Amino acid sequence: MLIVPSAGLGLKPEYFEDALAAPADGLWFEVHPENYMVAGGPRLGWLEAIRARHPLSLHGVALSLAADAPPDAAHLERLAALVGRFEPALVSEHLAWSTWQGAYRPDLLPFPRTSAALARIAENVERAQEALGRRIALENPSHYLAIDGHEWDEIDFLETLARRTGCALLLDVNNVYVSARNLGLSADAYVDAFPGALVAEIHLAGHTADPALGADLLVDSHDAPVDPAVWALYARLIARIGPRPTLIERDGNLPAFEVLMAERARAAAVLRAPLLRAA
Amino acid sequence: MTGVSLGRFQDAFARALRAPAGAETCASELARLVAQPGFAVYRNTVMKGCIDALQANYPAVSRLVGEEWFRAAAAVFARMHLPRNPTLAVYGEDFPHFLAEFAPAAELTYLPGVARLDRFWTEAHTAADEAAVEAAAVARLAPDALARAVLRPHASARWAWFEAQPIATIWRRNRYPGDEDEAELAWCGEGVLLVRPRGRVENVALDAAGCAFLDACAAGGTLGDAASAALAADGQADLARLMAQLLEAGAFGRLELPDHSTEER
């Protein structure tokens, strides 16, 4: 089942009942596969029921592709099993690391973008795509630190990875906004320079200001509605590259399902805009 | 930081993440990163992810000690034991053992047992799916075949006997606080079986004989061996009632007959 360039929702267990009952018109769902890497039980049953009605996207957080080590073989095997069982329309991961020396840190950690790192990550992406038997998409992370020692611009780094490995890219527009604000860069320039042809999926989410530092440090918290500035960046991107499958992510301060469906409808309207213009 | 290999960067970053906030006066090669306010975002996200997962996985413990105490204890645990497995729904296998050794919890002698039952729930909830052996399949057996048959506990079955404390009742009241149970707590030993023969995890009170019976079954003993174990635990045990109770609960996943053929249910 392919995802047409329509809008989807991140699916938390709290929304399973609503998600099952939601009308199917172009709606798709995305989950973190790590939450379903269990031997059995109701979790997998819920996901089966959702998958029977809607396309699914698996968005991994723990392959740790930017670690200076191959992806954990057991984890990759579990991911491959889920891909085989649920036949997701999209599979994605992050340009980040989380597992290192056998310990997992529930976050997406940064690294200096060197040529050596590029070679290692390309090898890891290839290894993952081989194990999964399919192309994956890599997401641009949120940044909170000015790191010395970057040899590569992030967009060049991602584009080169995609060319070398054949992977696609996932553009998280909220991450662009948060990173640009935190590092003093231009979000417009980033979105304008991003290679549109490689974008397989777009993410939209809310962020919050750091409780101590305020608007000087934005945190990609996924616990608020999508910010107006992020909506504007998104419209700018779609006007340039055309529609792409777009996900509304929400992980905290969970509102009523209808509130998320309304955000999804707003993204769907943006996706229709270039088509309407062309007609 | 220029010129540092990716692996060395990750070693240093991982070390800096684990250090408590304020301890970054060390001459770490990452000093310039750790000094930036943004470093705390990573440190906080990692800790919050671990602590949230522990609180989700140990709800009865959290309710007993209160959220503030729980999160403080969970932070100590998380610093010592980062997840080995990114499936956070099963994080914290060592948490009951940690609580047993955790000095501030020394007076809460029932806490490790309650934690163990929260852990049993997680294990039962995520265990492999398996149809339970039905009572009728056992009832069909002739008495001599019955004594030599082996009943394997269900993949999701977890049980324990607590010698001196009503751990199961304390756990149940804190895991399912909405359930009405006003009776005064009887301070005596208790056992419990958690099992998920169908969609949800059920818990069934079990006496010492029942726990000994399941222990023998898990060790691969015949029903004859299991019956002896149950009688050794309690000479007055009613074996027929015990078998009926366990089969009713869906405690078994496989029936193996003496001629080595296996009957699924």
Q: Which helix (H) or strand (E) holds A109?
A: strand A103-109
Q: How many domains does chain B have?
A: 2
The CA dihedral of B88, B94, B96, B100, to the nearest 10 degrees, is -150
Same domain, B146 and B117: no
Summarize pLDDT for A114-171 with one digit per residue, the tens. 999 999 999 999 999 999 999 999 999 999 999 989 999 999 999 999 999 999 999 9
pLDDT-derived band at B3, boundaries 50, 70, 90: low
The pLDDT value given to residue A1:
44
Cβ atoms A188, A236 nearer than 8 A: yes
Which chain A residue is nearest to residue B53, measuring alpha carbons?
Answer: A106
CB contact, 8 Å: A215 with chain B?
A: no
Q: Domain ends where: B125, B156, B182?
A: B125
Cβ atoms A229, A186 nearer than 8 A: no
A41–B53 CB contact, under 8 Å: no
Is residue B19, in this structure, part of any structural domain at all? no
The pLDDT value given to residue A118:
98
Is residue B7, in this structure, part of any structural domain at all? no
CA distance A150 to A198: 23
Average pLDDT over residues A10-28: 91
- Chain mean pLDDT for chain A: 95
A116–B6 CB contact, under 8 Å: yes
A100–B196 CB contact, under 8 Å: no
- What percentage of residues in chain A have a pLDDT greater than 70? 97
- Check whether A196 has a pLDDT greater than 60: yes
Same domain, B109 and B188: no
Residue numbers in B near A102 (CB within 8 A): 84
A111–B4 CB contact, under 8 Å: no
- What percentage of residues in chain B have a pLDDT greater than 70? 93
Is residue B14, in this structure, part of any structural domain at all? no
Same domain, B157 and B251: yes
Residue numbers in B near A143 (CB within 8 A): 38
pLDDT-derived band at B28, boundaries 50, 70, 90: low
Average pLDDT over residues B131-142: 94
- Strand-pairing partners, residue A210, are A214
What are B151's two structure tokens?
Answer: 């009943």
- Check whether A275 has a pLDDT greater than 70: no
- The domain segmentation of chain A, as residue ranges, is 7-278
The pLDDT value given to residue B264:
47
Is residue B6, in this structure, part of any structural domain at all? no
Same domain, B242 and B197: yes
> How far does the CA of residue A125 sit from the closest CA of chain B (Å)?
16
DSSP B28-47: -TTHHHHTSTTHHHHHHHHH
Summarize pLDDT for A81-97 with one digit per residue, the tens. 999 999 999 999 999 99
- Check whether B132 has a pLDDT greater than 80: yes
- Per-window interface: A 217-236 vs B, CB < 8 A: 217, 219
CA distance B92 to B57: 8
Summarize pLDDT for B158-210 with one digit per residue, the tens. 999 999 999 999 999 999 988 767 788 888 999 999 999 988 999 999 999 99
Residue numbers in A near B10 (CB within 8 A): 67-68, 97, 100, 109, 111
Q: Answer with the residue of higher pLDDT: B24 or A191.
A: A191
B126–A38 CB contact, under 8 Å: yes
Q: Domain ends where: B102, B125, B148?
A: B125
Same domain, B58 and B172: no
> How far does the CA of residue A190 sit from the closest CA of chain B (Å)?
21
The pLDDT value given to residue A207:
97
B200–A37 CB contact, under 8 Å: no
Same domain, B46 and B83: yes
Any alpha helices (H) in chain A, and if so which ranges?
A: 16-21, 42-53, 73-86, 115-132, 154-165, 173-183, 187-193, 228-241, 257-278
CATH architecture designation of domain A7-278: Alpha-Beta Barrel (3.20)
Is residue B43, in this structure, part of any structural domain at all? yes
Q: Domain ends where: B125, B143, B168?
A: B125
pLDDT-derived band at B72, boundaries 50, 70, 90: very high
Q: What's the complex ipTM?
A: 0.94
- Check whether A2 has a pLDDT greater than 90: no
Q: Which of B6, B84, B156 sits opposite A120 (nearest CB)?
A: B6
Average pLDDT over residues A177-206: 98
The pLDDT value given to residue B71:
98
Summarize pLDDT for B148-158 with one digit per residue, the tens. 999 999 999 99
A62–B86 CB contact, under 8 Å: yes
- Per-window interface: A 147-206 vs B, CB < 8 A: 147-149, 182
Cβ atoms A195, A159 nearer than 8 A: yes
Same domain, B101 and B139: no
For residue A278, CA distances in Å to A243, B35, B190, B206, B245 come to 12, 51, 72, 70, 69
- Check whether B261 has a pLDDT greater than 60: no
- Check whether A252 has a pLDDT greater than 80: yes
Average pLDDT over residues A223-240: 97
Is residue B153, in this structure, part of any structural domain at all? yes
CB contact, 8 Å: A105 with chain B?
A: yes
Summarize pLDDT for B81-117 with one digit per residue, the tens. 999 999 999 999 999 999 999 999 999 999 999 999 9
Q: Which of B53, B86, B89 sits opposite A38 (nearest CB)?
A: B89
Within 13 A of A275's CA, how many CA atoms are on the CB side?
9
- Check whether B234 has a pLDDT greater than 60: yes
Residue numbers in B near A35 (CB within 8 A): 87-89
> How far does the CA of residue A135 sit from the closest CA of chain B (Å)?
22
Same domain, B100 and B136: no
Summarize pLDDT for A59-74 with one digit per residue, the tens. 999 999 999 999 999 9
pLDDT-derived band at B19, boundaries 50, 70, 90: confident
Average pLDDT over residues A26-45: 96
Same domain, B188 and B61: no
Q: Which amino acid is at A109?
A: L
- Domain membership of residue B91 as a residue range: 37-125
Same domain, B139 and B162: yes
Is residue B195, in this structure, part of any structural domain at all? yes
Is residue B170, in this structure, part of any structural domain at all? yes
Q: What distance separates the 2 farthest-apart alpha carbons in chain B?
A: 78
